Structure 1
Amino acid sequence: MSAERLSRCALGRATLARQHLLSRSPGTAREMVEHLFGLQAQAPLAPYYALWARLERFEPDDFGALLEGREVVRMALMRGTVHAVSSEDAAALRQWVQPLMTADLRTNAQHRKEIAEVDVPTVERFAREVLERTPMTMVALRPHLAERWPDRDPAALAHAVRDLLPLVQIPPRGLWGRSGQPVCTTLESWLGAPLGRTATPEVLVLRYLAAFGPASVADAQAWSGLTRLSEVFEALAPRLRRFVGEDGAELYDLADAPRPDPATPAPTRILAPFDSALLGHADRSRIITDDHRKLVFTVNGIIKPTVLLGGTVAGFVTVAAKQGSASVEITTFTRPTARDCAALESEALRLLAFAHPGADTHDVRFAAVG
Structure 2
Amino acid sequence: MKLSARQLNRALLARQFLLERAAKTPIEVVEHLVGMQSQVPLSPYVGLWSRVSGFQPADLAGTLESRETVRIVLMRGTIHLVSARDALLLRPLLKPVLDRVNFTGHNGKQIAGIDPDELAQRGRELLEAQPCTREDLGKLLKERWTGHQATALAYAVQLLVPLAQIPPRGVWGVAQGRGDHATLNTWLGAESLPEPSITEVVSRYLRAFGPASVQDAQTWSGLTRLSEVFDRLPLRQFSDENGRTLFDHEDSPRPDEDTPAPPRFLPEFDNIALSHAGRTRIISPGFNGSSTRGSFTVDGFVSGTWKVAKGTLLIAPYQRLPKRDSAQVEAEGRRLLEFAAPDAGHAVVFEQT
TM range (shorter): over 0.9
1:6-61 per-position Cα deviation (integer Å, ceiling 9, x unaligned): 00000000000000000000111111111111011010110000000001111111
Of 150, 154, 160, which residue of structure 2 is paired with 1:154? 150
2:127 is equivalent to residue 127 of structure 1: no
1:242-289 per-position Cα deviation (integer Å, ceiling 9, x unaligned): 100001110001110000011111111111111111111111101103
Task: Verify the 8 A CA contact 2:284 2:303 in the aligned structure 1.
Answer: no
Of 291, 309, 324, which residue of structure 2 is paired with 1:320? 309
Output the amino acid matched with 2:143.
E
Quote how far apart the aligned CAs of 1:367 are.
2.4
RMSD over aligned CA atoms reads 1.3
Q: 1:162-177 counterparts in 2 under 5 A?
A: 162-177=158-173
Instruction: Please name the residue that 1:28 is paired with.
Output: 25
Of 297, 310, 333, which residue of structure 2 is paired with 1:348? 333
In structure 2, what is the Cα distance between the partners aligned to 1:316 and 1:166?
34
Structure 1 residues 152 and 318, CA gap change in structure 2 (3 angstroms): closer
Task: Verify the 8 A CA contact 2:44 2:267 in the aligned structure 1.
Answer: yes
2:347 is equivalent to residue 363 of structure 1: yes
**Structure 2 stretches lacking a partner, 5+ long:** none
In structure 2, what is the Cα distance between the partners aligned to 1:90 and 1:209?
19
In structure 2, what is the Cα distance between the partners aligned to 1:195 and 1:334?
47
Quote how far apart the aligned CAs of 1:231 are.
1.5
Aligned length: 352
2:271 is equivalent to residue 287 of structure 1: no
2:193 is equivalent to residue 201 of structure 1: no
In structure 2, what is the Cα distance between the partners aligned to 1:352 and 1:38?
25
In structure 2, what is the Cα distance between the partners aligned to 1:103 and 1:335?
43
Quote how far apart the aligned CAs of 1:68 are.
0.3
Question: For structure 1, which segment, 17-26 or 275-284, has the greater mean C-alpha deviation from structure 2 after superposition?
Answer: 275-284
**So what's the TM-score if we normalise by structure 1?**
0.92
Of 122, 133, 140, which residue of structure 1 is paired with 2:136? 140
In structure 2, what is the Cα distance between the partners aligned to 1:331 and 1:103?
37
Quote how far apart the aligned CAs of 1:91 are.
1.4
In structure 1, what is the Cα distance between the partners aligned to 2:298 and 2:139?
50
Task: Verify the 8 A CA contact 2:162 2:191 in the aligned structure 1.
Answer: no
In structure 2, what is the Cα distance between the partners aligned to 1:290 and 1:93?
33
State the secondary structure of the residue aligned to 1:125: helix
2:91 is equivalent to residue 94 of structure 1: yes
Task: Verify the 8 A CA contact 1:96 1:198 in the aligned structure 2.
Answer: no
Task: Verify the 8 A CA contact 1:67 1:73 in the aligned structure 2.
Answer: yes
Quote how far apart the aligned CAs of 1:130 are.
0.6
Percent of residue pairs bearing the same amino acid type: 47
In structure 2, what is the Cα distance between the partners aligned to 1:169 and 1:159?
13
Q: 1:98-109 counterparts in 2 under 5 A?
A: 98-109=95-106
Of 224, 236, 249, which residue of structure 1 is paired with 2:244? 249
In structure 2, what is the Cα distance between the partners aligned to 1:169 and 1:108?
24
**Structure 1 stretches lacking a partner, 5+ long:** none
1:147-169 per-position Cα deviation (integer Å, ceiling 9, x unaligned): 22334433332222111011110
Of 4, 7, 11, which residue of structure 2 is paired with 1:14? 11
State the secondary structure of the residue aligned to 1:116: coil
Instruction: Please name the residue that 1:333 is paired with.
Output: 318
Question: For structure 1, which segment, 273-282 or 165-174, has the greater mean C-alpha deviation from structure 2 after superposition?
Answer: 273-282
Task: Verify the 8 A CA contact 2:71 2:82 in the aligned structure 1.
Answer: yes
In structure 1, what is the Cα distance between the partners aligned to 2:109 and 2:270?
35
Output the amino acid matched with 2:352.
A
Question: For structure 1, which segment, 120-129 or 78-87, has the greater mean C-alpha deviation from structure 2 after superposition?
Answer: 120-129
Instruction: Please name the residue that 1:297 is paired with.
Output: 290
State the secondary structure of the residue aligned to 1:368: coil
Output the amino acid matched with 2:329.
L
Instruction: Please name the residue that 1:184 is paired with.
Output: 181
Task: Verify the 8 A CA contact 1:170 1:183 in the aligned structure 2.
Answer: yes
Quote how far apart the aligned CAs of 1:229 are.
1.0
In structure 2, what is the Cα distance between the partners aligned to 1:123 and 1:273?
33
Question: For structure 1, which segment, 308-317 or 9-18, has the greater mean C-alpha deviation from structure 2 after superposition?
Answer: 308-317
1:75-104 per-position Cα deviation (integer Å, ceiling 9, x unaligned): 110000000000000111111111011122
